[in-house]
Structure 1
Amino acid sequence: MGQQLTDDERLTLKTGAFGAVFLVSNADPGMLAMFRESFAASETLAQASGPVREALTTGPLPRLPRDSALEIESVVLPALGRALDILREKSPQDVAGYRSLVLAAADRVARAHRGVTPAEVAALDKIRSALAELA
C-alpha cells in the first residue's frame, strides 16, 4: 500500500491530468468542441482508482494559464513529470495507471470532435513525451 499524498501532491497529479486534457482541447479550440471534449475526458478520468482517484476528485481545481499554448505547456508538462515522480515514491503501483489514464483522456479529447487535428497530434506527442518512462 502506498503512502498518503499531501494536498500539494494531489494538486500536482490533478494539474497534470486536467492540464493534459486542457492542452489538447486548447490545441483546436471551439465552443461545441469544448463541451464534447470535456465530457469525453470526464468519462475517462472517472475511471481512476486509489490515490489517483482521490487526487482527481478532491481539493481545488488547478490554476492553468489561458494566454498561450506555451504557457499552458510550461505548467502542464512539468506537472506530469512531477506527478510520476510522486507516484513512483509514494504509490509505485499507480504509476502505469496514471500514465494510461492521462493518455486515454487526452486521446479521447482529441477524437471527440471532427477527428484529430495536427495541432492535437502535436499536443498528444508532448504529453506522451512528458509521461515517457525514464530509462
Structure 2
Amino acid sequence: MALVSRADPGFFATFKESVAGSRALAAAPEGVRDLLKGEGFPTPPRGTAEEVTPAVMDQLGAAVGLLQGKAPEQVEGFKAVVLGACDAVANASKGVAPEESAVIDQVRSALASAGPATPQGAPPPAPTA
C-alpha cells in the first residue's frame, strides 16, 4: 500500500490513502486479518521507492509462498486483501494515477508469481537436469 501511495505523492492524498488502506485491511476476512496482525511477516524496508520496491515485491512473494505451505486456504484471501488495499489506496484521491497503476501491476505480478515455500527445516529441492 505504501508503494502505491508514494507513487503519486501529496500531503492530503497521502492522508486519504492511508485511511482507505486501513479500511481495506479492517474489512479483510477474519483469517486474513489474524495473519496480518500476527508475527512472522517481515517489516517493510525503508528508503526510496526505487530502493525498496524489489524487496517489497520479494517479501510479497515470500508471504504467499509461506501461506501456500502453511495455510493454503488463506492464500487467495491474502492476495485479494493486498490487491484490494492497493486499489483502495490508489482510488482514494482523484482517481488512479498511471504511476499507481504501474505499482499495482507489480504487486499483482509478485503475488501471482510466488512459488510454494520450502517447509521450515526442509532442504531446498534438488535442481533438475
Residue of structure 2 in register with 1:88 after alignment: 68
SS in 1 for 2:112: coil
Match of 2:120 in 1: none
Distance 1:74 1:134, change over 3 A: closer
Structure with the higher fraction of residues in helix conformation: 1
Q: Distance in 2 between matches of 1:53 and 1:105?
A: 13
Other-structure match for 1:64? 45
Q: Which runs of 5+ in 2 are unaligned?
A: 116-129
Gap change, CA 1:77 and 1:61, over 3 Å in 2: closer
User: 2:4·2:86 contact (CA, 8 Å) conserved in 1?
Assistant: yes
CA gap 1:79/1:36 in 2 versus in 1, 3 angstroms = same
Task: Tell me which residue corresponds to 1:26.
Answer: 6
Give the aligned partner of residue 73 of structure 1: 53
Residue 106 in structure 1 maps to residue 86 in structure 2: yes
The Cα shift of 1:61 comes to 8.4
For residue 116 of structure 1, report the CA deviation from its aligned partner. 0.8
Instruction: Read off the aligned partner of 2:96 and give its amino acid letter.
Output: V
What is the number of equivalent residue pairs in this alignment? 113
2: CA distance between counterparts of 1:94 and 1:64?
Answer: 24
Percent identity over paired residues: 43
Distance 1:86 1:41, change over 3 A: same
Per-residue CA shift, 1:71-116, capped at 9, x if unaligned?
1212210011001011001100000000000000000100000111
Please report the TM-score for the alignment, with normalisation by the length of structure 1. 0.76
Is the CA contact 2:61–2:113 (under 8 Å) kept in the aligned structure 1?
Answer: no
Give the unaligned 5+ runs of structure 1: 1-20
- CA gap 1:93/1:61 in 2 versus in 1, 3 angstroms: closer
Give the counterpart letter for 2:106 in structure 1: K
Specify the code of the residue in structure 1 equivalent to 2:16: R
The list of structure 1 runs, each at least 4 consecutive aligned residues, that deviate by more than 6 angstroms after superposition, is: none
Name the larger-Rg structure.
2
Aligned residue for 2:2, secondary structure, equals helix
Q: CA deviation at 1:64?
A: 2.6
**Aligned-pair RMSD on alpha carbons?**
2.0
